[in-house]
Amino acid sequence: MRNWSLAKPALALGFLLAVACFAPNFYVLFADETYDVAILNGRVMDPESGLDALRNIGIRGGKIAVISESPLSAKSTIDAKALVVSPGFIDLHEHGQEERNYEFQARDGVTTSLELEAGTDDVDRWYALREGKSLINFGVSIGHIPVRMKVMGDPQGGMLPTGDAAHRAASQEEFEKITTAMDKGFRRGALAEGMGVNYTPGATHWEIVEMFRIAAKYGASVHVHLRYGGLKEPNTGLAAIEEVLAAAAATGAPLHVVHITSMGLKYTPQLIAMVKGAQQHGLDVTTECYPYTAGSTALQSAIFDPGWQENMGITYKDIQWTATGERLTAETFDKYRKQGGVVVIHSIPEEAARTAVADPIVMIASDGMPITGAKVHPRGQATFSRVLGHYVREEKALDLMTALRKMTLMPAQRLEKRAPMFKEKGRIRVGADADITVFDPSRVIDKATFDEPLQYSEGIPFVLVNGIVVVKDSQLVSGVHPGRAARAPLAN
Ligand SMILES: [Zn+2]
């Protein structure tokens, strides 16, 4: 008798299920309640687990809820037949942090765009400007360059210093203000520390060490544009990497060397060897590159102080004015340097670019620029599709899984010690954030060029950010802003 009280509801439930199973829409009804979006029949590639197989993915509440060989249905479905389903790309280095940049980046497969090299001097303000308004996820570092510009009274407005912040050592009082501002940035959740010693050559070696010490206190990586990017002894890229390897070793701060190709030029393999050697001997050091043979920066910056031709092994004609696309002469160099503006610098040997793109330890990051001139560098619009289309498919310089690892898992791992939220990014795993890029490995390609840089990449038909579709059938979805702040925990 006692069992009856339990059995009666069970029998009733069984009867209801039996009826429901005969109802024609039962399975659809059941599944509709389960997943918001399903990505079906795709070749799912996950660099963390090594999974590379046909699977269906169910997404609920912005997270990956199931990865299954069984059929799924949902409120909306994406047919990913013959397409690769990858974690969304994480760009550690993108200076253009406006909606137009995010649109180009989404079309290039990027779901998280981070400004970690230059960074900001006001972390709260930076995040507040983008909260609730962004197509893709966004994040920033506390930047030694902008902090130094503010403290030392450099002309504001530009991204890079031209006055005292570039050329002069800080006084004791200025140094203390810089230190305080950097520390505050970390307490407000900056993801990393940004540094560009090449742009602040007046900063003493000791100031650089002290900046590493602050980052070490917060377990934050220092994303550094090295002091030199030159070929001429003693100011070579090799000497410059020695400075920051020593600072990392002496303070315990993790080090991330940005755009290793434009720093190393023809000595790029030697710089990569330095990073590898440091890793093998226990230092937390990483690096990144973009897949191009040209750099880009402000012509008025300290990089073009006297000696630049010998340092970089280039001359006027290798520099392109982005407002018009014209190559410079001695006369136009002087004129535009006074005026101020962005140039493209054709200085990186193809062999260096290819070596770095192919190397499994070198992450992919765009170094994309704000879209100010008609001939802006194409890297911000097309870096990721260029690696997948040109270097993986056409050149066979590296395999697809290695390339994806360099764009997804490795950048997430770079940041997860400082910002644990990155443990849920860069992976196709149950419970991970549903930041997902769906592309055609036989068609994906960059279309942006130095002549026509404002072209969307092709062969990336679907992109999801926190489970929301932002690219559908190779078109941007309008009116959606699912991007969230990628930020480290706040501290007192
Ligand atoms: Zn840089």
pLDDT digits (tens, 9 = 90+) for 133-160: 999 999 999 999 999 999 999 986 778 9
User: Is residue 215 pLDDT above 60, yes or no?
Assistant: yes
- 8 Å CB contact between 109 and 385: yes
Q: Give distance in angstroms: CA of 179 to centre of ligand 1.
A: 22
pLDDT of residue 373: 86
Alpha-carbon distance of 421 to 278, in angstroms, equals: 27
The percent of residues above 70 in pLDDT, for the chain, comes to 93
Which of 22-26, 247-251, 323-327 comes out lowest in average pLDDT? 22-26
Query: How many other CB atoms are there within 10 angstroms of residue 485's CB atom?
Result: 18
Q: Give distance in angstroms: CA of 199 to centre of ligand 1.
A: 9
Q: Give distance in angstroms: CA of 259 to centre of ligand 1.
A: 7
Tokens matching residue 444: 């994906």
User: Is residue 315 pLDDT above 60, yes or no?
Assistant: yes
Q: Give distance in angstroms: CA of 215 to centre of ligand 1.
A: 19
Alpha-carbon distance of 119 to 159, in angstroms, equals: 9
pLDDT digits (tens, 9 = 90+) for 402-440: 999 999 999 999 999 999 999 999 999 999 999 999 999
Tokens matching residue 343: 């140039």
Banded model confidence at residue 492, pLDDT cuts 50, 70, 90:
confident
Alpha-carbon distance of 392 to 380, in angstroms, equals: 19
Query: How many other CB atoms are there within 10 angstroms of residue 297's CB atom?
Result: 24
User: Is residue 241 pLDDT above 70, yes or no?
Assistant: yes
Banded model confidence at residue 16, pLDDT cuts 50, 70, 90:
very low
More confident residue, 12 or 67: 67
Alpha-carbon distance of 145 to 198, in angstroms, equals: 10
Q: Kindly state the average pLDDT of the residues 102-120.
A: 98
Tokens matching residue 449: 């060029």
Q: Give distance in angstroms: CA of 280 to centre of ligand 1.
A: 26
Question: 382: which residues sit within 8 A by CB, 6+ positions away?
Answer: 104, 108, 446, 447, 448, 455, 457
Alpha-carbon distance of 90 to 105, in angstroms, equals: 10
pLDDT of residue 25: 40
Alpha-carbon distance of 365 to 384, in angstroms, equals: 8
Q: Give distance in angstroms: CA of 377 to centre of ligand 1.
A: 13
Q: Give distance in angstroms: CA of 346 to centre of ligand 1.
A: 15
Alpha-carbon distance of 328 to 315, in angstroms, equals: 9
Q: Give distance in angstroms: CA of 421 to centre of ligand 1.
A: 26
Residue 477 backbone phi and psi in degrees, to 5? -85, 130
Task: For strands 222-225 and 193-196, give the pairing.
Answer: parallel
Q: Give distance in angstroms: CA of 224 to centre of ligand 1.
A: 8
pLDDT of residue 2: 41
Banded model confidence at residue 33, pLDDT cuts 50, 70, 90:
low
The residue type found at 197 is: V
Q: Give distance in angstroms: CA of 262 to centre of ligand 1.
A: 8
Banded model confidence at residue 4, pLDDT cuts 50, 70, 90:
very low
Q: Give distance in angstroms: CA of 79 to centre of ligand 1.
A: 39
Cα–Cα nearest to 357, from 229, 260, 236: 260
User: Is residue 31 pLDDT above 70, yes or no?
Assistant: no
Q: Give distance in angstroms: CA of 263 to centre of ligand 1.
A: 9
Question: 177: which residues sit within 8 A by CB, 6+ positions away?
Answer: 151
Q: Give distance in angstroms: CA of 20 to centre of ligand 1.
A: 62
Question: 129: which residues sit within 8 A by CB, 6+ positions away?
Answer: none
The residue type found at 132 is: G
Q: Kindly state the average pLDDT of the residues 199-208.
A: 97
Task: For strands 255-257 and 285-289, give the pairing.
Answer: parallel
pLDDT of residue 181: 98
Q: Give distance in angstroms: CA of 236 to centre of ligand 1.
A: 16
Banded model confidence at residue 30, pLDDT cuts 50, 70, 90:
very low
Alpha-carbon distance of 208 to 225, in angstroms, equals: 12
Q: Give distance in angstroms: CA of 194 to centre of ligand 1.
A: 10
pLDDT of residue 22: 44
Q: Give distance in angstroms: CA of 255 to centre of ligand 1.
A: 15
298's enclosing H/E stretch is strand 295-298
| Angstrom distances, CA of residue 47 to CA of 44, 51, 64 | 10, 7, 16
Alpha-carbon distance of 314 to 231, in angstroms, equals: 10
User: Is residue 12 pLDDT above 60, yes or no?
Assistant: no
Q: Give distance in angstroms: CA of 195 to centre of ligand 1.
A: 9
* Average pLDDT in the chain: 93
pLDDT of residue 14: 47
More confident residue, 489 or 15: 489
pLDDT of residue 10: 46
Q: Give distance in angstroms: CA of 223 to centre of ligand 1.
A: 9
86, exposed or middle or buried, with CB in 10 Å at 0-12, 13-18, 19+? buried
Alpha-carbon distance of 360 to 271, in angstroms, equals: 14
User: Is residue 3 pLDDT above 90, yes or no?
Assistant: no
Q: Give distance in angstroms: CA of 260 to centre of ligand 1.
A: 9
Banded model confidence at residue 8, pLDDT cuts 50, 70, 90:
very low
Q: Give distance in angstroms: CA of 154 to centre of ligand 1.
A: 19
